[in-house]
């Protein structure tokens, strides 16, 4: 016979409590988020998995003596059961409270280490990330991340894309061997994936349009606010597509994601919700124009170089909405990038940048479709040809002109919520100095 792990009845989740329930009895289960005692009255702010909170008032004269004693002694983050009547009170957060008739501590807690003073240390908060994620602020961002990925899936499924799951363990570098994480794989060396792109290119010959949402790993020692060594990307690849096609797809995707997050989290975002409600077409500038902006603002950027963090911020501050930079020098792009026929030094590649100083959030473009051209390019760059033979071979059997992109989950949400660092968007962030908890 089925027996619930919940030892007490629950009638509602806190997010379901509304003015329609005023005067009705409810039974809630959650965690003590805040607590204060005032004489014969205990005030508890209760939270549960719905990421909502409600004030519960426990009056000495309105509950059994043992219940009040438990309420007095219970600590922050103890799991508790509350039964009572919903009432309006303008002094309560949200204007509603539960006037408690029964209270029980289900699972006790030790004294909470994330005190107001301790929380002033960002390093300490990330040391205690396993506890800090109970914070409503952290919960909100992580819930938005889940909604972000859900909305991306809805977008691609509605357009006939097939979701694939590429391998995490790889032997073929996509973005350069210097940033690979090596892994001992039985009697040989393998690596953690940098991108699903190469496998997506194989898959489009079967499905034509594919996407994936998954982790990427880069052994970069960058300590900027936008870098993680483990991050997630939404990647897509399309057969019979040009760079212009893939730019339009990115515009449509980002607009869909922004509008979804603005609608679902408008109460948290406030005025910023309108700021991120974007729609195509996005502004587009060339790499040369971006270099001119950086140089005009006093940054020394030579043609063919990637933009440093400060120059990137300066360029992005020029815009109020997402924008593209295209016509990158081929020397600044990866080995698989196709190039313009009229200007072979220019890659058919583009970056999508977030405005307000946030910078690059996505990279995309056309891939080399000709097997012999790709082979020569790999040899020219001194890459290990034998590792790419399978990648070349897919082009010998009808692989058409194609293009794709990858957009960073953490970077995009960092811009949407105007966060200080991408770490805030990761459940347990990984950086050059942090690999635990």
For 370-429, the pLDDT digits (tens) are: 999 999 999 999 999 999 999 999 999 999 999 999 999 999 999 999 999 999 999 999
Residue 329 and residue 309 in contact, taking contact as beta carbons nearer than 8 Å:
no
Whether 120 is in a domain gets the answer no
Whether residue 2 is predicted with pLDDT greater than 70 in this model: the reply is no
- pLDDT at 5 (0 to 100): 76
From CA 330, how far away is CA 303, in angstroms rounded? 11
Give 223's pLDDT tier (boundaries 50, 70, 90).
Answer: confident
Give the integer Cα–Cα distance in Å for 146 and 140.
10
Q: How far is CA 54 from CA 90, 100, 154, 204, 409, in A?
A: 13, 12, 32, 50, 31
**61 and 131 share one domain:** no
In angstroms, the CA 375 to CA 385 distance is: 8
Query: What are phi and psi for residue 365, nearest 5 degrees?
Result: 155, -175
Same domain, 43 and 153: no
State mean pLDDT over 328-353.
Answer: 97
CA gap 155, 254 in Å, rounded: 10
pLDDT reported for residue 3: 60
Q: Is the CB of residue 326 less than 8 Å from the CB of residue 350? A: yes
- Residue 173, pLDDT score: 78
Does residue 219 share a domain with residue 73?
no
**What confidence score (pLDDT) does residue 1 get?**
56
Examine the domain organization and report whether 102 and 137 are in the same domain. Answer: no
Query: Which of 12, 14, 61 lies closest to 33 in space, CA to CA?
Result: 14
Contact 399, 368 (CB under 8 A): no
Query: Which of left, alpha, beta for 349 (phi over 0: left; psi -120 to 50: alpha)?
Result: beta
Q: What's the pLDDT score for residue 177?
A: 67
3-class secondary structure, 368: coil
In the chain, how many domains are there? 2
Residue 4 lies in a domain: no
Residue 405 backbone phi and psi in degrees, to 5? -160, 165
| pLDDT at residue 8, rounded to an integer | 82
DSSP H helical ranges for 4-47: none
**278-296 confidence digits (pLDDT tens):** 999 999 999 999 999 999 9
Q: Is 15 helix (H, G, I), strand (E, B) or coil?
A: helix
Task: Decide the pairing of beta strands 402-408 and 230-239.
Answer: antiparallel
Residue 145 above 60 pLDDT?
yes
Pair 337, 221 in one domain: yes
Q: What is the mean pLDDT of residues 307-326?
A: 97
Q: What is the CATH number of the domain that holds 166?
A: 3.30.930.10
Q: Which two tokens stand for residue 231?
A: 């991050």
Q: What is the pTM of this model?
A: 0.95
Per-residue pLDDT tens for 238-281?
999 999 999 999 999 999 999 999 999 999 999 999 999 999 99
The parent domain of residue 43 ranges over 14-107
Q: Where does residue 252 rank: exposed (0-12), middle (13-18), buried (19+ CB within 10 A)?
A: middle
Q: What is the pLDDT of residues 20-65, one digit of tens each?
A: 999 999 999 999 999 999 989 999 999 999 989 999 999 999 999 9
Is 402 within a domain? yes
Q: What whole-number percentage of the chain has pLDDT above 90? A: 94
Beta strands in 39-138 (DSSP E): 41-47, 53-59, 79-88, 96-107
Same structural domain, 192 and 239 = yes
Query: Same domain for 97 and 192?
Result: no
Any idea what DSSP says for residue 99?
A: E
Q: Mean pLDDT score of the chain, rounded to an integer?
A: 96
Which of 77, 107, 137 lies at the terminal end of a domain, its last residue? 107
Same domain assignment for residues 150 and 87: no
In this predicted structure, what is the pLDDT of residue 72?
97
In contact, 334 and 174? CB cutoff 8 Å: yes
Domain with residue 99: its CATH number is 2.40.50.140
For the stretch 184-219, pLDDT in tens is 999 999 999 999 999 999 999 999 999 999 999 999
pLDDT(338) > 90: yes
Residue 98 has pLDDT above 80, yes or no: yes
Size of the chain in residues? 437
């Amino acid at each position: 016979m089925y027996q619930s792990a919940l030892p007490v009845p629950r009638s509602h989740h806190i997010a379901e409590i509304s003015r329609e329930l005023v005067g009705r009895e409810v039974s809630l289960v959650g965690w003590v988020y805040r607590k204060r005692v005032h004489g014969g009255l205990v005030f508890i702010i209760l939270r549960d998995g719905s990421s909502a909170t409600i004030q519960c008032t426990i009056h000495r004269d309105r509950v059994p003596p043992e219940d009040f004693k438990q309420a007095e002694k219970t600590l922050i983050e103890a799991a508790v059961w509350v039964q009572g009547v919903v009432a309006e009170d303008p002094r309560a957060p949200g204007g509603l409270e539960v006037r408690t008739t029964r209270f029980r501590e289900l699972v006790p807690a030790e004294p909470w280490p994330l005190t107001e003073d301790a929380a002033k240390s960002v390093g300490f908060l990330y040391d205690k990330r396993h506890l800090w994620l109970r914070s409503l602020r952290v919960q909100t961002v992580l819930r938005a991340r889940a909604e972000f990925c859900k909305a991306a899936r809805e977008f691609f499924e509605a357009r006939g894309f097939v979701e694939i799951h590429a391998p995490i363990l790889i032997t073929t570098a996509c973005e350069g061997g210097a940033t690979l994480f090596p892994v001992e794989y039985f009697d040989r060396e393998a690596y953690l994936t940098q991108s699903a792109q190469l496998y997506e290119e194989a898959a489009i010959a079967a499905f034509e349009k594919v996407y994936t949402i998954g982790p990427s790993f880069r052994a970069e020692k960058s300590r900027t606010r936008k870098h993680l060594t483990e991050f997630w990307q939404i990647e897509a690849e399309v057969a019979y597509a040009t760079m212009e096609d893939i730019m339009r797809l990115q515009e449509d995707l980002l607009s869909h994601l922004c509008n979804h997050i603005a609608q679902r989290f408008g109460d948290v975002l406030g005025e910023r919700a309108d700021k991120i409600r974007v729609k195509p077409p996005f502004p587009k500038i060339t790499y040369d124009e971006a270099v001119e902006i950086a140089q005009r603002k006093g940054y020394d950027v030579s043609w063919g170089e990637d933009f440093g963090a400060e120059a990137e911020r300066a360029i992005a501050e020029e815009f109020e909405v997402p924008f593209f930079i295209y016509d990158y020098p081929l020397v600044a792009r990866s080995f698989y990038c196709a190039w313009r026929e009229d200007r072979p030094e220019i890659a058919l590649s583009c970056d999508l940048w977030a405005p307000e100083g946030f910078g690059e959030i996505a990279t995309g473009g056309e891939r080399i479709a000709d097997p012999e051209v790709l082979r020569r390019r790999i040899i020219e760059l001194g890459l290990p040809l034998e590792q790419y033979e399978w990648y070349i071979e897919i082009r010998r059997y009808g692989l058409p002109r194609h293009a794709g992109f990858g957009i960073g989950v953490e970077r995009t949400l960092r811009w949407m919520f105007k966060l200080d660092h991408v770490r805030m968007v990761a459940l347990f962030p990984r950086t050059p100095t942090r690999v635990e908890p």
